[in-house]
Amino acid sequence: MTAITLLTGIPRSGTTLCCKLLSQNKTTLALHEPLDPQVITSTELNASIHEISQRIMAIRDAVQSSKPIPLGDKDNYLVDNPVGYSQQHHGVRALSSVRGTTTIPLNNDLELLVIKQNALFTALSSHLIAHYPLIAIIRNPVDVLLSWMTVDLPVNKGRLPAGEKFDKHLASLLQQEDDVLQRQLIIYDWFIDKFKHSALECIKYEEIVATNGKALYDAIGITQPNPAELRAPQRNFAPSLIERLNNCVPQLEALAIKAGYSPAIISKQLEFLSCQNCS
């Protein structure tokens, strides 16, 4: 029977890339968001966990028999970035992935199925971990926040629909805050708090890149095939966005410490990005 591991993480921290990397092992298949949080019918805890488990089993059965399954991108089950690189209005990048149904080629060597979902699995992490191995991907606050500011996703407006659906306290905090950046800081903090409360193993995106994926494979417990060099993409951000983060450095440093980073990473990264704009 194919084993199951769940993968979660902060949005825009490289979780989709992790799916592509893990699927390079011929005995592993990692899927990009086959569960749509909005179709989970119950928000009552036990009923939600039961329904999610049923859907996970149905996905595994469909994969093992090469039947159609829902995915976050119907055209490419090995997508490494669901957001396109072309900018739309005001520098916001649009989604390139389109949710739909696809059929995964039959793999008789499949031993491990990894299912990735960020907000949903995080909101219910303390209960899901009693049923499945659950691993989280994190990234430093500066890169995460700047990405949120420039992608056409709910976090761009400081909202997290799946998290709010299953965590009413988060929904209340976001509802009470008018400032978008402050809501984004609340969301980042919420993810870290959930990971710590559930005692999840957290893997830093930066370590995955620095080790060419080895940190990820070691955490999952599978063999890494022929590692290729990984590089974090370099992007230029509008000076106004960098300045917004410069205005809340103490909050960002506190989040960095909570996430297990040195607070020095905040000023260092902001300075680096500012210098990129000058070059």
**Residue 88: predicted pLDDT:** 59
| Tally of structural domains, the chain | 1
**Residue 224: predicted pLDDT:** 92
Tokens of 225: 């095939």
- Could you give the CA distance from residue 68 to residue 116 in angstroms, rounded to a whole number? 17
Helix (H, G, I), strand (E, B) or coil at 102: strand
**Residue 96: predicted pLDDT:** 64
**Residue 131: predicted pLDDT:** 95
Distances (CA, A) of 99 to 68, 70, 72, 95, 160: 13, 7, 4, 10, 18
Q: Residues in the chain, how many?
A: 279
Helix (H, G, I), strand (E, B) or coil at 80: coil
AA identity, residue 1: M
pTM: 0.92
Tokens of 258: 């909570």
**Residue 86: predicted pLDDT:** 53
The candidate with the shortest Cα–Cα distance to 28, out of 18, 38, 36, is 18
Q: pLDDT tens per residue, the chain (279 residues)?
A: 799 999 999 999 999 999 999 999 999 999 989 999 988 998 889 999 999 999 999 999 999 999 988 886 666 666 666 665 555 555 677 766 677 888 888 888 999 999 999 999 999 999 999 999 999 999 999 999 999 999 989 999 999 999 999 999 999 999 999 999 999 999 999 999 999 999 999 999 999 999 999 999 999 999 998 888 998 888 889 999 999 999 999 999 999 999 999 999 999 999 999 887 665
**How many CA atoms within 13 Å lie on the side-chain side of 128?**
30
**Residue 147: predicted pLDDT:** 94
- What CATH number corresponds to the domain at position 56? 3.40.50
Residue 249 lies in domain: 3-278
- Could you give the CA distance from residue 36 to residue 162 in angstroms, rounded to a whole number? 9
